[in-house]
Amino acid sequence: RLVNQVVTHLIQAIRSKEGSFSSIERLGAGSYYEHVKVFEPNEFDIMLLMPVARLQLDECDDTGAYYYLSFKRNPKEKYLLKFLDEDGKLSAFKMLQALREIIKQEVKNIKNVEVTVKRKKAGSPAITLQIKNPPSEISVDIILTLEVQQSWPPSTQDGLKIEQWLGRKVRNEFRNRSLYLVAKQNKKEKVLRGNTWRLSFSHIEKHMLNNHGSSKTCCESDGPKCCRKGCLKLLKYLLEQLKMQYTKQLEKFCSYHVKTAFFHSCVMWPKDTDWQLGDLEYCFEKYLGYFLDCLQKSQLPHFFIPQYNLLSPEDKASNYLLSRLLNYELNNGFPIFQE
């Protein structure tokens, strides 16, 4: 309720300022909205969608995930021209900066709630709000997202292999949806200019998690239940607990690694009968086994962009460490769950 109150206030204020951000819409993303949150709901991701008609996308590295954006011709969105850098590329940095300023001014006008804007984290696509909610705090990441009405780039062609799991029709329907790009700094660039954008599939991921069965009725109130989400929550919890103990060594890992491995597992075992509710333990170990295999090989392909490896071989040491820790849990009956 608190988050809605704050975000609704901010969106109205941002829209009322003539110009750049007047057409934004909100979309709840992340684990809270996918119903796979494992701890208290004290972290929220809110995407602020900005509709853009067409953009020119140029890959800026070999991952197929990061792009420079520019306008093909005179854009309808004239207000975006002031965010171009000297090379005519749309600057994520400039746009985030402008949005951040509006939000910083506006949080002062929110009544009855204490809201602050956290210091900028280098390369992060989010503007983070702290909401005082005694005895604790709630953190809200606001993520500026361009919603582009055009077809997905070639790097996504062989991704999203869900034909056996959710069906060809669903895949086609997903691929006809808008393209989302978030203001994310590509760390591989020699000079960090803040003008790169990364593809985001949060809207599709949320849909897949909330409609995860090969049969339409899976986990509906009167349908058969499966343990897919139970498995995902267990591995997320396991990773979060290990990260608390080995913060520095495991900082590279996040729940997105676990979620990606989960989607690949759903493709490998596509039937609802592969994930029967009573088989939670067996299914979890099978899914964990796949993730361990990825860590061993330092190879976890992005679910939508197969050429993009989320576990780079440069991080071999931390991949092995996580794999050792998970193997220990697996072979000793998961002591971490008993704590």
Three-state SS at 43: strand
d(CA 254, CA 243): 9
Contact at 8 Å (CB) between 204 and 177? yes
* pLDDT average, residue stretch 167-195: 85
Three-state SS at 115: strand
**pLDDT at residue 46 above 90?**
no
Amino acid letter, residue 94:
K
Contact at 8 Å (CB) between 331 and 86? no
Predicted pLDDT of residue 192: 60
* pLDDT average, residue stretch 54-72: 92
* pLDDT average, residue stretch 237-266: 95
Three-state SS at 327: helix
Can you give the pTM of this predicted structure?
0.92
What is the average pLDDT score of the chain?
Answer: 90
Predicted pLDDT of residue 190: 58
Q: Which long-range contacts (CB under 8 A, 24 or more apart) does 9-15 make?
A: 9/106, 9/109, 9/110, 10/103, 10/106, 10/107, 10/110, 10/142, 11/48, 13/102, 13/106, 13/109, 14/48, 14/99, 14/102, 14/103, 14/106
Selected residue with higher pLDDT from 108 and 186 = 108
Selected residue with higher pLDDT from 172 and 134 = 172
Please list, residue by residue across 153-176, b when 16 or more beta carbons sit within 10 angstroms of its beta carbon and e when fewer do: bebbeebbbbeebbeeebbeebbe
> Partners of 197 in the beta sheet?
67
Give me the DSSP letters along 192-213.
--S--EEEE-HHHHHHHHHT--
Q: Omega before 270 cis (within 30°)?
A: no
* pLDDT average, residue stretch 131-149: 88
Domains and CATH numbers, the chain: 1-202 (3.30.460.90), 215-337 (1.10.1410.40)
d(CA 50, CA 257): 27
Please list, residue by residue across 25-55, b when 16 or more beta carbons sit within 10 angstroms of its beta carbon and e when fewer do: ebbbbbbbbbebbbeeeebbbbbbbbebeeb
Tens of pLDDT along 268-299? 999 999 999 999 999 999 999 999 999 999 99
> Partners of 226 in the beta sheet?
276
Q: How confident is the model at residue 249 (pLDDT cuts 50, 70, 90)?
A: very high
